[in-house]
Structure 1
Amino acid sequence: MPDKVLIYSRLPKSLTQRFSADFDLLDTAGKPANEVFAAEELAQVRALITAGGTPLRAADMERLPALGAIICYGTGYDGVDLKAAAARNIVVGNSPGANASSVADVALMLLLATMRRLPIIDPYVRSGDWVAAKPSPLMKPPSGLSGRKVGVYGMGEIGRKIAARLAAFETDIGYFSRTRYDDLPYRYLPSLDALAEWCSVLMIAVRASAETHHAVDADLLKALGADGYVVNISRGSVIDQAALVAALTDHTIAGAGLDVFEIEPHAPDELTRLPNVVLTPHIGGNTRESHVAMQGCVVANLKAFFAGERLPFPVK
């Protein structure tokens, strides 16, 4: 009989179908597990699959007395209470690097679209204003990317791929990370503040944590300068969103590209009304190749757990 696995987060069936070949899936459809399944059924669940950002706290784990493994679909695991899991000897796994290339691609897409004002120039053509030679103050020549000092905040798998792509654009790359890597050809800055003072483009690629919460605040945005840009493909909590709106509104910085937000999905508000920001709905890792790779990590982690083996992709 297949082992029971709880689908804890709201995940499209197209993404979980691969798991049904090996496991008996109990899908909560994003609802509280105890509202969907009886306590007797939940008592048999030894493993669950969750999106890393979905809150999974000690009280949630207590409703699953046999739970031994939490497997995150994707690289993130910020929603999981790791201390509570460790206290109950629950192993936690994820899919490290599985979507790094796709996320890095979106980071560069957001940067170029923001710097070259894609939301403005596309409607300029579609509306007929270009053929009518209608002047627009927003069509002034922007600064380019070549020769820019670009800072990467976080030099994990995604940060490295972002830096590699940036190098092809003839930029000067610096980074700040918890670890200084001697194998990288990029300039290391000793703090996030020092990185912001050095660069005019900041690419955010760190995990969400208490340490990174609102690390990008009003003072740091000001350090980027009036020709500065910020791109966030990590977690919305890293930027103080109110400070970002203010910086974009009063032109403390020139623009921003965001794939993530403090609250998701993000409803229309003052941020969405600004012309100098490009927004995407958290789709950085949403490619066919990324999903195949992430699903492979999930299956490998689950099979190892049920076989009594160490997870091949544990959260460290």
Structure 2
Amino acid sequence: MYETNITIITMIHLLGFQSPQSITYYLFFLFFIVYCMTICGNLLIITLVSYSKNLHSPMYIFLTQLAVSDILLATDILPNMLHVVLVKVNRMSFVHCIAQFYFFCVSETLECLLLTVMSYDRYLAICKPLHYSSIMNTHICLKMVIVTWILSASVVLIHTLTITTLQFCGPNIIDHFFCDLAPLLELSCSDTTLVQLEFNLLGSLFVEIPFLIVIISYVYIIVTILQIPSVTGRKKAFSTCSSHLAVVSMYYGSLVCVYLVPTRRQAWNISKVLSLLYTVVTPLMNPIIYSLRNKELKKAAEQMINNFNKNSFKFILKVGI
């Protein structure tokens, strides 16, 4: 009996959503459509920015990286969740579980950092317009992008390696739809104090401090906009940052909801539903929010469609001739 208790876990069972069999295929279809829309929407953002020279500015470069982050998150979570919905209990190797946790944390950390530099970009554009081009040029923008990726990948790697030093001896069942930290640590028979302290420290550095920077940036932005004498000028200035503000509110709002929910076993069902907000809903809504509220993206989409139609028409004429 003692030897059974200290058996090292090699396989993980994800319970996912314990939904009635009658709605299984409806849930699968719903999440499949969400995944397809998420990938297509974010790829559209990347394509439009790459296609239109008018969009080769720091704000849209950051936006493409946000789209890449959303694709990474959706691909890390949703395909496996689709499998869980169908089979109810999904078996995955422990290495696969740790890898899923790593890429999940990388994409979330990257999103926090990108939203922060995007808020700084909007602060410079609205509050320091005369110095914007000298401070936020393409060269600086690319450096920021590289730093955010390196920071996200390296810091999360250190944290993940710390987790792998723990001993996981069971049970090997995770009552979630992906390998998150809290349910993962429940499988450990080691002291997890160091991991939890490390998580709290990294959370402060890469979630709370960036969020504080975002808030401070928008306080200055709002004050500056209110000082603009004309109503038209205020609307125009606010329109340049409204999409980003909506994304920030949705993303951090969902994180706050999840962390406010107690992680006791009886709260897992609520926690799973709330986790959908920042793992599934946010990557889906980001391109929708930016596409609907951004005139430059709409204009680039129209130009791309018109050019495609013209080229298709010319090709048909050549083939016909």
Q: Same fold (TM over 0.5)?
A: no
Query: Larger RCO: Structure 1 or Structure 2 (Cα < 8 Å, ≥ 6 residues apart)?
Result: 2
When you count helix as a share of all residues, which structure comes out higher?
A: 2
How would you bin the TM-score normalised by the shorter chain? Answer: under 0.3
Q: TM-score, normalised by structure 1?
A: 0.25
When you count strand as a share of all residues, which structure comes out higher?
A: 1
